[in-house]
Amino acid sequence: MIEIVSSLKNSFEKNANPLSASKMSAYMKNKFCYYGIKAPLRNELIKEWLLETKNSNVNFWDLIHHLWNLDQREYQYVAIELLKKKKADFFSFSDIHEIEGLITSKSWWDTVDLIAADTLGKYLIKFPDQKIKIISDFSERDNLWLNRSTLIFQLKYKDKLDFELLKSLVIHHYPNKDFFIQKAIGWSLRQYAKTAPNEVLNFVIQTNLDGLAKREALKKLT
C-alpha cells in the first residue's frame, strides 16, 4: 500500500505550491491542509499515477481508506476520483458502511457532495430496495452531512428521480435553517427542475418555501 501511494506522494510534493496551499486552506475555513496543487495539474498527476498503478492488485477499499487518512486534502480528492470511476455494479451490499464512513469523516462540502451525488447515488441504483431504509436512516441521524446527502444523492437521476421522496425530505429538513441544508434543498429542486420545471415550481409555491432554498430552487425558472 505504502509503495503504491509513495509515487503519488512524490509527485504531489514535487508540485507543491505553498502560496496556493495557504489560499486553498483558507477557502475551506482552514479545516484541511493542502499541497496547493490546482485542479488541472492535480488531475494530470492523478492520471499519470493511475497509469503507473493500473496493474496493482491492492484492495480497493484499503486504498481508499489509506488515502482518506492522509493529511493533505488532495489525497481525499484522489480517493473520490477512484470512486467516480466505479460503476454501480461494482458496489457490494456491505459497501454502504464504507460510504457512510467517508461522508462522516473529514466532512466538508467539497467531498460530501461528490460522494453523495456520485457514490451513494450509484450504490442505491444497484440496491434500490435499500433506498428508503438507508435514506430514512441518514435523514434522522444527528449529522449534518448525512442529512445533506439525503437531499442530493439523486442529483444525477434526471427522470429517474423519486420526486415523492425528495418532496418528503425537503419538507422534513426545511425547518433546519443551516446554510448547507437550505442550499441542498434548493440545489436538488433546481436540478430536478431541468427535467420537470412545472412540478418543481408548483411544489415550491404549495409549500411556501422561502429564503435561500427558494432562491436556489427557482434560479433557472424565474
* Domain residue spans of the chain: 1-84
- Residues paired with 72 in a beta bridge: 33
According to the model, what pLDDT value does residue 55 have? 78
**pTM score, whole prediction:** 0.95
CB 211 within 8 A of CB 182: yes
The least confident of 3-17, 42-56, 59-73 is 42-56
Instruction: Tell me the pLDDT of the chain averaged across its residues.
Output: 96
Structure confidence at residue 222 as a pLDDT band (50, 70, 90): low
Domain 1-84 = CATH 3.40.50.300 = no
Question: What gap in Å lies between CA 44 and CA 91, rounded to an integer?
Answer: 26
Asked if the model's pLDDT at residue 83 lies above 70, the reply is yes
Asked if the model's pLDDT at residue 1 lies above 70, the reply is no
Asked if the model's pLDDT at residue 95 lies above 70, the reply is yes
* pLDDT mean over 56-69: 94
Q: Which of helix, strand or coil describes residue 210? A: coil
Structure confidence at residue 57 as a pLDDT band (50, 70, 90): confident
Question: What gap in Å lies between CA 186 and CA 209, rounded to an integer?
Answer: 9
- Per-residue CA distances from 101 to 124, 175, 192 (Å): 16, 26, 27
